[in-house]
Amino acid sequence: MTASKLSVAVIGPGAIGGTIAAWISRSPLVGELTLCVRTPLDRLVVEAPDGTILKVAPRVVTDPGQITAPVDWVLVATKAYDVAAAALWLKPLLGPETRVAVLQNGVEHVERFAPFLPADRIVPVIVDVPAERTAPGRIQHRRNGTVTVPAGEAGEAFVALFAGSVIEASTTDDFLTAAWTKLSLNCAGAVNALTGRPGGVVRAPGIADLMREMVWECVRVGRAVGADLGDTIPDWVVERAMTSPADSVNSLLGDRLAGRPMEWDARNGVIVRLGHIHDVATPVNAMATTLLAAVGWQADI
């Protein structure tokens, strides 16, 4: 670890990891930046929302054996279903004070990584940074966006990495509610992946009501685990869908159309699993989860 500047490793520099890595490399606090990749890349080229091109050439490693020293910060930005593989990087990266920020969708950031390090060194991050990868290391950052972390010393330290970035980083005193609010928005996106149709499908007969019920289930489960979710959230989610561009493609649909695995468990399965534990009925999310899982199912015979 460096005494003056912070060493940072990003596991999974795809759309989010690559965008964040490019921006935090501008922070005066950040020294050595390492990208831990699955698919090799030469450097990061990120087109910012204002058209500026950020070019960064950090150290790129393709195997955990290439890591020679622990770092101050690990930022994990793989998809939620790639946690087991992402965790293989952690052993050589973790020192006694290393913090691990988890930049993924869902509400189980800490639970996913708690098997690998003490929970108080894990910083869960709510990411609202629209970005797309066009090739390994080539990213279109669409809107400045925000990252939100729990209040406290670790959260403040994470926010400090964003000095010099257009991404607005902040802490919240009620991370649980913030994460479940984002999940309320995300869970309704299953409708697009299931129908194979972009945002405009919300106007099809019955779809707005279906989305509203899906979100209500999320709200009821979120309340059962302690989130402070208001009655207006289901209508807010549907209203957002109604006013979004009809051709907008959420990441679940994008992944389905591209034949990639989908984050259905982090976005809908979690509602069903926690609903079971807290005795909250979740039939709509259960059906969505079963059908989305079946899309990627491979028969053994």
Ligand X SMILES: NC(=O)c1ccc[n+]([C@@H]2O[C@H](COP(=O)([O-])OP(=O)(O)OC[C@H]3O[C@@H](n4cnc5c(N)ncnc54)[C@H](OP(=O)(O)O)[C@@H]3O)[C@@H](O)[C@H]2O)c1
CB of 97 to ligand X, least distance (A): 23
* Sequence letter at residue 203: R
Q: Which residue lies nearest ligand X, judged by its C-beta?
A: 14
DSSP secondary structure letter of residue 203:
G
Task: For ligand X, give the closer residue by CB, 80 or 219.
Answer: 80
Instruction: Please check whether residue 275 is in contact with residue 287, taking contact to mean a CB–CB distance below 8 angstroms.
Output: no
CA 17 distance to own-chain centroid? 10
**C-beta of 121 vs 133, nearer to ligand X:** 133
* CB closer to ligand X, 40 vs 196: 40
- As a whole number of angstroms, the distance between CA 236 and CA 57 comes to 41
Q: How far is the CB of 271 from ligand X (least distance, A)?
A: 15
Chain mean position to CA 59: 23
Q: For the chain, what percentages of helix, strand and coil (3-state, to nearest 5) are there? A: 45, 20, 40
Show which residues are catalytic: 182
Place of tokens 């591209």: 258
First to last CA, the chain: 50
Q: How far is the CB of 127 from ligand X (least distance, A)?
A: 4
d(Cα 146, Cα 126) in Å, to the nearest integer?
A: 8
Closest contact distance (angstroms) between CB of 247 and ligand X is 16
Task: Indicate the residue among 75 and 208 with the shorter CB distance to ligand X.
Answer: 75
Could you list the residues that contact ligand X (CB under 6 A)?
11-17, 36-39, 77-80, 82, 85-86, 103-105, 127, 129-131, 133, 136, 251, 263
